[in-house]
A and B are shown apart, each in its own frame.
Chain A
Amino acid sequence: MFNSSPIETWEGVGVFMSFGANTGMTHFWFWAAVILCIVPLFVTLATEKRHETQHTFHEGDSDSTHGVEKK
């Protein structure tokens, strides 16, 4: 990253994307991924809440059974 490759040659290389065995950096990117999975859930919750508020049920509205048939 930013011109700081942990390897200078490919010979004998195994792991190469570990920030030169810098566990702090691997943990940083791991937790960044965790956060990016969690944040959209809160965005989705907010969207759901908005639509739940906008679309309250009114008795007598009949479209709720659209497509329903007696057996």
Chain B
Amino acid sequence: MTPEELQAAIMAANEINLEVYYYWCTAVMILIHAGFMMYEMGASRVKHTLAAGTKNILAFAYMIPTFWMFGWWIYLAMTNGFVPDFEAGAGGVPWGENMGPNLQDNATGVFWGAFTLFACTTASIMSGAVIERIRMTAFIILAVVLGSVVWILAASWGWHYAGWMVTSWGYHDFGASGVVHMISGFFALGVLIHLGPRIGKFNADGSANVIRGHSLPMTMVGLMFIVVGFFGFLGGCVIFPGTGLSWYATEWANIYGMPTTLSAITFNTLMGVAGGMIGAYMKTRDPFWMMSGALCGIISVAAGMDMYYPGVTFVLAFAGGVIGPIAANFVEKMGIDDPVGAVSVHGVCGVLGLLFAGIFLGGYPTFSEDIPAITFFGQFKGVIVMALLGFIPGFVLAWLFKAMGILRAGDGVQEVGMDVEIEAMAYPEDIKSN
């Protein structure tokens, strides 16, 4: 074998390894969706259980074709803002050569699949906030807009090496604190304002009641599934080395082209989970919040977890685990009924994640001298963009659906249970919550 043939064989092997790596990342990420489904079914009362589960299934099912139809194109074409670059987007056109079986392209399908699962995650985040009262049609459309349009537009701006937020501000969001979690949390907030609370959540004097889900154990196991899925999610945020698409021949890189390792991600994913759990335990002693605290922890460190020292990660995640439940109480005091704390866990902790990265990674260089270094101010501006980009579409669409009368189920349907629209019963023996 000549040196050239050997080199070609190594490159071909690397291409296959890249394909295998992202293929399994995508499969593991499905656990996030399974976990959210369990989490939200457990957090629902018995009569709403299957409606919560079915909405998660349909969000998953609708995200896949719509992300193929226009989601991937948006990612490739919209890096400059709202004006599409049709040349850059050509690789994402659904009738193009890359968006289907192609023996000379091992990468597009697995990257598309991983990004599709990120999109599914955004819909799952929103679906927990709206359980027990949103109508199916409105939910599906909101999920598609969030996952196949809004999040991927945010990713094109801030999670793409050529995105304008990256090239203008040095925006750094390795694990998607902003582009996934803030976008979803603020989108959910926009929807919740128009959707209104569950019946009985608030008293006439504005005080809130507790509405317990029917299975806290199911919720807890679901959250542990999400933690497992995060390894696929965060593993999918790293660029494989040694291929024609890679940043480096022998080093992993983040999505911005800065070197990192899977070891770094492993340290900080686990430390983030642990810090968040313990922080939430200290604040609440509540099993629900201990597991949600794991999410608070990871999300609070996600933006910078490719670089943090694990001790820093633990402390920041601990802070996230404490702040998450405090933020949830604040949201409730504002008269917003968010049964799973999506706004606080994902929205508020996403803000923390971006700002923490600005503080602790400020000054780190980016992959090119032409791109500004990471700064607190750049991250702060990123927070504002992500909050607005998430909130405005959710708020406007929910307002529109409310005006059309298709956003919220009637009181009668809520009373008999949202499962009546599914025309099935989760527990035929008629087990009741309390």
Contacts and interface: CB of A to CB of B under 8 A. Distances in A.
Contacts of B200: 64-65, 68
A64 B421 contact: no
B101 A16 contact: yes
Given A17-B100, A41-B140, A55 B416 contact: yes
Contact of B95 (A26, A45, A58, A71): A26
Interface in B338-380: none
Interface in A42-65: 44-45, 47-48, 51-52, 54-58, 61, 63-65
Interface string B386-421: 000000000000000000001001111111100011
Contact of A14 (B45, B66, B97): B97
Interface in B167-220: 199-201, 207-212, 214
Contacts of A54: 412
B137 A41 contact: yes
B2 interface: no
A38 to B, nearest CB: 10
Contact of B101 (A17, A68, A69): A17
A68 B209 contact: yes
B413 A55 contact: yes
A52 B115 CA distance: 36
Nearest to B62: A37
Nearest to A36: B65
A55 to B, nearest CB: 4
Contacts of B45: 66-67
Most chain-A CB neighbours within 10 Å: which of B97, B137, B214, B423?
B137
A37 B143 CA distance: 13
Contacts, number: 108
A31 to B, nearest CB: 10
Interface residues of B, number: 45
Contact of A55 (B97, B212, B420, B432): B420
A23 interface: yes
Contacts of B94: 30
Contact of B415 (A14, A30, A47, A63): A63
Interface string A1-43: 0000000001001111110000100110010011001000100
Given A14-B103, A30-B94, A33-B69, A64 B411 contact: yes
Nearest to B432: A66
Nearest to B46: A67
Contacts of A13: 103
B193 to A, nearest CB: 22
A27 B208 CA distance: 53
B210 A68 contact: yes
Contacts of B263: none
Contacts of A69: 209-212, 434
A48 B414 CA distance: 12
A48 B406 CA distance: 9
B33 interface: no
6 contacts: A14-B102, A15-B102, A17-B101, A18-B97, A37-B62, A71-B208
Interface of B: 45, 47, 62, 65-66, 69, 94-95, 97, 100-105, 135-137, 140-141, 199-201, 207-212, 214, 406, 409-416, 420-421, 423, 432-434
Given A34-B69, A68-B211, 9 more contacts: A14-B105, A17-B100, A18-B97, A41-B140, A52-B409, A56-B412, A64-B414, A67-B432, A69-B210
